[in-house]
Amino acid sequence: MLLPPLFAAPTRPTRRIARLGFALAALWTLAGCATLDLEPKGAGGTPITGSPVEAPRTLGLETPVSAEQKRLTAMFGGRYVFPAAEDYLNSVLAKLAAAGDKPSQAYRVTILNSPVVNAFALPSGDLFVTRGLLALANDTSEVAAVMAHEIGHVTAGHAQARAETEKQHQLIRKASEAFQGKERGAQIQNVNLVSFANFSRQQEFEADQIGVRTIAAAGYDPYGAERFLSSLGRSIALRASMFNQKQADKPDLMSTHPSTPERIQRAVAAARQIGAPGIGAAARNEYLAAINGMDFGDDPTDGVIRGRRFQHPRFGFGFEAPEGFVLENTPQAVLGVADGGSRALRLDSVHVGGDTALDAYLASGWIEGLQLSSIQSTTINGLPAATATARSGEWSFRVAVFRLGTDVYRMIYATRELTEPTDARFRESIGTFRRISSDEASRLRSLRLSIVVSEGEAARAMAARMAIPDRPLEQFLLLNGLERDGPLKAGERYKIVIE
The secondary structure of residue 16, as a DSSP letter, is S
- Confidence class for position 167, pLDDT limits 50, 70, 90: low
Q: Mean pLDDT in the chain?
A: 80
**Within the chain, how many helices (H) and strands (E) appear?**
14, 17
Short-list 298, 323, 296, 329, CA closest to 308: 323
Question: Angle at which helices 224-242 and 140-155 pack, to 10 degrees?
Answer: 100
Mean local confidence (pLDDT), 125-135:
93
Pairing of strands 108-112, 434-435: unpaired
Distance from C-alpha of 153 to C-alpha of 125, rounded to nearest angstrom? 10
pLDDT on residue 239:
84
Residue 391: is its pLDDT beyond 60?
A: yes
In the three-class reduction of DSSP (H, G, I as helix; E, B as strand; rest coil), residue 110 is classed as strand
User: Residue 144: how many CA atoms within 13 Å on its side-chain side?
Assistant: 33
Query: What is the reported pLDDT for 482?
Result: 95
Q: How far apart are CA 217 and CA 229, in angstroms?
A: 20
SS3 499: coil
pLDDT band, residue 135 (cuts 50/70/90): very high
Report, as an integer, the average pLDDT of 457-468. 95
Provide the CA 440 distance to its chain's centre, in angstroms: 27
Paired with 412 in beta bridges are: 346, 399
Instruction: Write the pLDDT tens digit of every residue in 32-66.
Output: 222 233 222 233 333 323 333 333 343 445 677 77
Q: What is the DSSP string of 311-325?
A: EETTTTEEEEPPTT-
DSSP codes, 49-87: SSS---SPP-SSSPPHHHHHHHHHHHHTTSB---HHHHH
Give which of 404, 496, 441, 398 is closest to 310, Cα–Cα.
441
Q: Which of 106, 103, 110 is nearest to 89 (CA)?
A: 110
Q: How confident is the model at residue 195 (pLDDT cuts 50, 70, 90)?
A: very low
pLDDT at position 334:
93
Q: What is the dihedral of CA 67, 121, 239, 47, to 10 degrees?
A: -50
- Dist CA 398 CA 388 (whole Å): 6
Predicted pLDDT at 45: 31
Rg for the chain, CA atoms, rounded: 24
pTM over 0.85: no
State the pLDDT at residue 340.
Answer: 82
Q: Please, which residues have CB within 8 angstroms of residue 398's CB and are 6 or more apart in sequence? A: 387, 389, 412, 413, 415, 418, 423, 426, 427, 430
Does pLDDT of 244 surpass 80?
Answer: no
The third-level CATH classification (topology) of the domain covering 24-29+315-435 is Protein Transport Mog1p; Chain A (3.40.1000)
Which pLDDT band holds residue 445 (cuts at 50, 70, 90)? confident
Which residue would you say has higher pLDDT here, 406 or 137? 137
Res 255 pLDDT > 50? no
Estimate to the nearest angstrom the gap between the alpha carbon of 479 and the chain centroid: 16
